[in-house]
Structure 1
Amino acid sequence: MITVLEIVVVILALMLIGVVVAQKSKTQGMGAGFGGGADDLFGSRARGMDALLSKVTIVLSIIFAILTLLLGRLMNTF
C-alpha cells in the first residue's frame, strides 16, 4: 500500500511540475531582463487553455497534498 502511494505521489508531482511549467507567466519576471521574446517565438495561448491549466493545477495540488499527508501518516513520520 505504501509503495503504491509513493508511486502515485511521484507521478502526481511530475504531472504538477508539467502543468505549472506549461502555464503562461502572468508577469515578465526575470525573463524580461534577458530578452524575454519567447511569446513571439511560441505564439500566444488562448485564455481557455490558461483557465484549464489553472484549474488542473489546483486539483492536482490538493490531491498531492492529501496523498502526501496520508503517506506520512501511514509511515508514522509525523
Structure 2
Amino acid sequence: MITVLEVLVFILALCLIGVVVAQKSKSQGMGAGFGGGAEDLFGSRARGMDALLSKLTIILSIIFAVLTLVLGGLMNSY
C-alpha cells in the first residue's frame, strides 16, 4: 500500500511540475505591481489554456497534499 502511494505521489509531483512550467508567466518582473504593468496584472482574466492550466494546478496540488498527508500518516504508524 505504501509503495503504491509513493509511486502515485511521485507521478503526481512530476505532473504538477509539468503543469506549472507550462503556464505563462503572469508578472513582468519586480516592477509589475508598482508601475505600468499593474493593469495587466490585476485587470485581466485567464482564458483558454491558461484557465485550464490554472484549475489543473489547483486540483493537482490538493490531491498531492492529501496523498502526502495520508502517506505520512501511514509511514508514521509503522
* TM bracket (short chain): 0.7 to 0.9
Q: Does 1:12 align with 2:12?
A: yes
Partner of 2:50: 50
Distance in 2 (CA, whole Å) between partners of 1:61 and 1:14 is: 11
Shift of 1:3: 0.0
Amino acid at match of 2:72: G
Partner of 1:61: 61
TM-score, normalising length: structure 2: 0.74
SS in 2 for 1:25: coil
SS in 2 for 1:55: helix
Unaligned runs of 5+ in 1: 31-45
User: Identity across aligned pairs (percent)?
Assistant: 82
Shift of 1:28: 2.3
Equivalent pairs counted in the alignment come to 62
TM-score, normalising length: structure 1: 0.74
SS in 2 for 1:75: helix
Amino acid at match of 2:73: R
SS in 1 for 2:71: helix
Distance in 1 (CA, whole Å) between partners of 2:28 and 2:16 is: 22
Unaligned runs of 5+ in 2: 31-45
Amino acid at match of 1:69: L
